[in-house]
């Protein structure tokens, strides 16, 4: 290990800093230098910068394994998960900024949680089972294995916010539910346990803040860290909602 030290690159991080809690603070770019280490991720790099260089630097990591969705940020201008971004895949100059659209907490930390909760409340992102009381001592209801897998595929969203941060519509419409919201509607629409009909879903997403607000720029599809099939799901949902809307 020690012998390789001389070959390690010097990484230069250019971080957008701003602390709204600090009176008179203004947004600025701050530079940090760090020696690269083998297997270094942005989680490791930012943690080291905070521990050794600047204890005030704000960012969010939780699982640091690409599954919790906490660490979405703009990495060289593109929304991505910082924890699973490996520095060796990047140039020595790395620019970091918080995700746009969401409320800023400070530096690289944004409040995705509050927005996601609002979206969930608005779209009622849970199984609506019409209140029948099941007896959980009894056998569970059977479900087609292939359908269960399809539902799981759409359930893989981690609500990181990358899709919304990359969305053209969201720039213009603060209330747009984003690919994250539309994908959830597609997920519950597919789930036979959810008794809602297309008429119900139309009430939730049949407008410009829902599926008709999407301009099909589809950056969401390109940046989704979980590779969710957002393009097909949004197109499919739009078709179903058009059918529903024209029934009218």
CB of 225 to other proteins, least distance (A): 9
d(CA 211, CA 176): 9
Q: Which stretch binds other proteins (CB under 8 A): 52-60, 163-171, 211-219, 235-243?
A: 52-60
d(CA 34, CA 58): 17
Residue from the set 9, 16, 36, 67 that interacts with other proteins by CB under 8 A? 67
Residue from the set 54, 91, 93, 203 that interacts with other proteins by CB under 8 A? 54
212-243 burial, b for 16+ CB within 10 Å, e for fewer?
A: ebbeeebbbbebbbbebebeebbebbbebbee
d(CA 89, CA 91): 7
Residue 24 within binding range of other proteins, rule CB under 8 A: no
Pick the closer one to other proteins by CB: 60 or 97: 60
Residue from the set 33, 35, 51, 208 that interacts with other proteins by CB under 8 A? 51
Residue 231 within binding range of other proteins, rule CB under 8 A: no
Per 3-state DSSP, what percentage of the chain is helix, strand, and coil (rounded to 5)?
A: 40, 15, 45
Enumerate the β-bridge partners of residue 109.
106
Question: Residues interacting with other proteins, by CB under 8 A?
Answer: 1, 4, 19-23, 38-39, 41, 50-52, 54-58, 60-70, 84, 86, 105-106, 109, 111-114, 116-117, 120-121, 124-127, 129, 134, 136-145, 148-149, 151-152, 155-156, 158-159, 188, 191, 193-194
């Amino acid at each position: 290990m020690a012998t390789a030290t001389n070959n390690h690159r010097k990484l230069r991080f250019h971080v957008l800093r701003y602390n709204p809690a600090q009176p008179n603070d203004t947004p600025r770019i701050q530079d940090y230098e760090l020696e690269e280490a083998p297997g270094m991720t942005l989680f490791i790099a930012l943690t080291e910068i905070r521990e050794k260089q600047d204890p005030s630097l704000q960012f969010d990591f939780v699982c640091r394994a690409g599954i919790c969705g906490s660490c979405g940020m703009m990495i060289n201008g593109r929304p991505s998960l910082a924890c699973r971004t490996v520095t060796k895949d990047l140039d020595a100059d790395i620019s970091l900024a918080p995700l746009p659209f969401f409320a800023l907490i400070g530096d690289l930390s944004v409040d995705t949680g509050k927005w996601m909760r609002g979206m969930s409340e608005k779209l009622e992102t849970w199984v609506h089972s019409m209140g029948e009381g099941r007896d959980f001592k009894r056998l569970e209801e059977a479900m087609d294995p292939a359908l269960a897998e399809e539902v799981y595929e759409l359930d893989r969203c981690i609500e990181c916010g990358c899709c919304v941060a990359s969305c053209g519509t969201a720039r213009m419409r603060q209330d747009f539910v984003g690919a994250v919201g539309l994908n959830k509607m597609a997920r519950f629409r597919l789930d036979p346990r959810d008794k809602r009909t297309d008429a119900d879903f139309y009430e939730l997403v049949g407008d410009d803040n829902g599926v008709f607000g999407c301009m099909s720029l589809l950056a969401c599809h390109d940046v989704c860290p979980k590779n969710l099939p957002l393009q097909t799901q949004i197109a499919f949902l739009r078709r179903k909602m058009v059918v529903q809307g024209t029934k009218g």
